[in-house]
């Protein structure tokens, strides 16, 4: 029996499709019923991770959710993307979770309890293409649903929720406007190391260095005309330019953003977590520490991509800094 025939005869595929449809229609309606009035203040401020792809955000989120008493969308919640608050009320996927192994595959984690980016939940409220969106382009009805979903999840956890999906970097204006309680953690990494990681994953996924990967800043059409070693550096820079500009347009000052430097975090996770707790506390968001973090992480330093393209990237980064 051919693969195609087995695919269409496999009942799991039909069950998966049926559950997807249930998420999109029935569960969204259930979420509307269980959600609080979206005009009421949120019980706890939501916390959004933003930054360039491959900047260490997955590891940081794994450590934070492992160590601090915050809620987050797990892989199990994401299976119920139409109403993740209902999944929390029914299953409590992150309760009594084991310690993280701090592993991921290109930003994707394994285990029902592990943090998930959960793109399907985000796409309920934000368009797929083009991914960058100004406040004027946001659909008020969907943004009201977005606030209702965040409120429902916040109430189900009864603690601050940490959201990690780096496409949020392109939606800051709408997030800050419709969730004015929001706090932001902006991740930073040495741009050569960050660019190296982007090129490495491009090759792993596409078997070439030229195919674009992940977050597309508003200048994407111009950036795609650059050679690959310049693309990744400018992708990082333009992502941060977009974040800084849109946080400014949204009136988000330094008091409501925390800048997490990947190298500092790896060298001393405990110190960074203390700083995050202090940042949250200043914003009337007290979070207790429930476990000790690892002592440190050792970033990989070896060159794992084509030596010539790496050298050109290093030269470009220095000459245009």
Backbone angles phi, psi at 104, to 5 degrees: -160, 160
pLDDT number for residue 108: 72
Q: For residue 300, how many other CB atoms are within 10 A of its CB?
A: 11
All structural domains of the chain: 9-319 (3.40.50)
CB neighbour list of residue 179: distance below 8 Å, 6 or more residues apart: 42, 46, 146, 147, 150
Tokens standing for 301?
Answer: 């330093």
Strands 161-164 and 183-188: unpaired
Share of the chain above pLDDT 90, in %: 80
User: Of 237, 216, 260, which Cα lies nearest the Cα of 313?
Assistant: 237
User: Of 287, 296, 312, which Cα lies nearest the Cα of 262?
Assistant: 296
Q: How confident is the model at residue 25 (pLDDT cuts 50, 70, 90)?
A: low
Backbone angles phi, psi at 202, to 5 degrees: -55, -45
Q: How confident is the model at residue 21 (pLDDT cuts 50, 70, 90)?
A: low
Give the integer Cα–Cα distance in Å for 120 and 24. 9
194-232 per-position pLDDT tens digit:
999 999 999 999 999 999 999 999 999 999 999 999 999
271-296 per-position pLDDT tens digit:
999 999 999 999 999 899 999 999 99
- Sequence-distant contacts of 265-271: CB under 8 A, at least 24 apart: 265/56, 265/59, 265/60, 265/63, 265/297, 266/56, 266/59, 266/296, 266/297, 266/298, 266/299, 267/296, 268/296, 269/63, 269/67, 269/293, 269/294, 269/295, 269/296, 269/297, 270/295
Give the integer Cα–Cα distance in Å for 81 and 149. 10
Average pLDDT over residues 94-112: 78
pLDDT number for residue 99: 84
Q: What angle do CA 251, 276, 98 make, to 5 degrees?
A: 125
Concatenated DSSP letters of 65-85: HHHB--EE-BHHHHHTTT-HH
84, pLDDT greater than 60: yes
pLDDT number for residue 213: 96
91-95, 142-146, 236-240, 315-319: segment of lowest average pLDDT: 91-95
Helix (H) or strand (E) holding 208: none
pLDDT number for residue 35: 83
7, pLDDT greater than 70: no
Name the burial class of residue 276, with classes exposed (0-12), middle (13-18) and buried (19+) by CB atoms within 10 angstroms of its CB. buried
Q: Could you tell me which residues are beta bridge partners of residue 50?
A: 186
Kindly tell me the sign of the dihedral angle through the C-alpha atoms of 208, 211, 215, 219. positive
Which is more confidently placed, 22 or 78? 78
Q: For residue 145, how many other CB atoms are within 10 A of its CB?
A: 19
pLDDT number for residue 248: 98
pLDDT number for residue 106: 61
pLDDT number for residue 20: 65
Q: Please, what is the average pLDDT of the chain?
A: 92
pLDDT number for residue 3: 47
CA dihedral 292, 285, 157, 178 (to 10 degrees): -130
Average pLDDT over residues 141-168: 96
pLDDT number for residue 112: 83
Average pLDDT over residues 123-127: 97
Share of the chain above pLDDT 70, in %: 92
pLDDT number for residue 18: 62
């Amino acid at each position: 029996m051919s693969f195609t025939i087995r695919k269409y005869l496999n009942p799991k595929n039909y069950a998966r499709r049926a559950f997807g449809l249930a998420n999109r229609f029935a569960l969204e309606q259930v979420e509307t019923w269980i959600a609080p009035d979206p005009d009421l203040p949120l019980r706890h401020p939501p916390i959004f991770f933003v930054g360039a792809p491959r900047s260490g955000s997955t590891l940081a989120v794994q450590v934070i959710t492992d160590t601090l008493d915050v809620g987050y969308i797990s892989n199990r919640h994401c299976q119920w993307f139409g109403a993740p608050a209902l999944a929390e009320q029914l299953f409590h996927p992150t309760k009594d979770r084991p310690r993280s192994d701090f592993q991921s595959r290109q930003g994707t984690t394994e285990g029902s309890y592990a943090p998930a980016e959960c793109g399907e939940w985000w796409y309920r409220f934000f368009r797929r293409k083009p991914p960058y969106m100004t406040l004027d382009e946001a659909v008020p009805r969907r943004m009201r649903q977005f606030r209702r979903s965040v409120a429902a999840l916040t109430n189900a956890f009864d603690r601050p929720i940490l959201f990690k999906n780096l496409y949020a970097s392109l939606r800051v204006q709408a997030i800050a406007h419709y969730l004015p309680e929001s706090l932001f953690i902006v991740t930073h990494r040495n741009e050569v190391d960050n660019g190296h990681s982007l090129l490495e994953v491009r090759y792993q996924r596409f078997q070439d260095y030229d195919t674009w990967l992940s977050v597309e800043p508003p200048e994407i059409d111009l950036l795609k005309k650059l050679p690959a070693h310049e693309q990744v550096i400018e992708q990082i820079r333009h992502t941060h330019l977009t974040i800084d500009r849109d946080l400014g347009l949204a009136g988000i000052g330094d008091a409501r953003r925390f800048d997490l430097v990947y190298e500092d975090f790896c060298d001393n996770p405990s110190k960074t977590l203390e700083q995050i707790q202090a940042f949250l506390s200043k914003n009337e968001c007290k979070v207790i520490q429930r476990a000790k973090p690892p002592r440190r992480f050792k970033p990989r330093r070896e060159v794992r991509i084509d030596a010539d393209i790496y050298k050109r990237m290093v030269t470009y980064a220095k000459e245009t800094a």
